[in-house]
């Protein structure tokens, strides 16, 4: 597109991020739920917890089970046989996170308690 081909556009903006050594707590119920989600792929797959822009409070939690990424930007935390990975750029936002799992038909599922959050959305998926 010619409109963007001319001079004047900068290189992508690089955002400086502070990196801290992440420590998280995972309750026994959450550990079992993650193990159940990973299933027989526990040797190859990991749980990645991350934060992305959005939600009512500025950031959204995201949790995915994926094949262990070949990326040295992650910190790896072993929780009794479950491998949890957190990217360095999310380290200050997620350090001290407590992950719980509530087995309930109403409001059940994973719950995050984040000491870095000044505010949280009513649904619990967003923090800031």
Residues contributing to the site for another protein (CB under 8 A)? 1-13, 15, 48, 50-60, 62, 64, 71, 73-74, 87, 89-90, 119, 121-123, 125-126, 128
Distance in Å, CB of 7 to another protein, minimum = 7
User: Which of residues 18 and 80 has its CB atom nearest to another protein in the complex?
Assistant: 18
Q: Where are the alpha helices (DSSP H) in 5-120?
A: 28-38, 91-94
Yes or no: say if 46 and 37 are a contact pair by the CB < 8 Å rule.
no
Q: What do you get for the CA distance between the two ends of the chain, in Å?
A: 37
Distance in Å, CB of 118 to another protein, minimum = 9
Cα gap 48→12, rounded to integer Å: 26
Distance in Å, CB of 32 to another protein, minimum = 26
């Amino acid at each position: 597109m010619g409109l963007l081909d001319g001079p004047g556009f900068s290189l992508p903006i690089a955002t400086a991020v502070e990196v801290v050594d992440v420590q998280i707590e995972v309750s026994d119920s959450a550990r079992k739920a993650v193990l159940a989600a990973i299933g027989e792929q526990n040797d190859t797959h990991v749980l990645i917890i991350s934060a992305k822009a959005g939600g009512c409070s500025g950031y959204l939690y995201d949790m995915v089970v994926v094949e262990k990424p070949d990326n040295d930007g992650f910190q790896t935390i072993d929780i009794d046989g479950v491998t949890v990975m957190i990217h360095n750029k999310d380290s200050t936002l997620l350090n001290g996170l407590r992950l719980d799992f509530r087995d309930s038909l109403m409001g059940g599922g994973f719950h995050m308690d984040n000491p870095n959050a000044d505010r949280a959305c009513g649904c619990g998926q967003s923090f800031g």
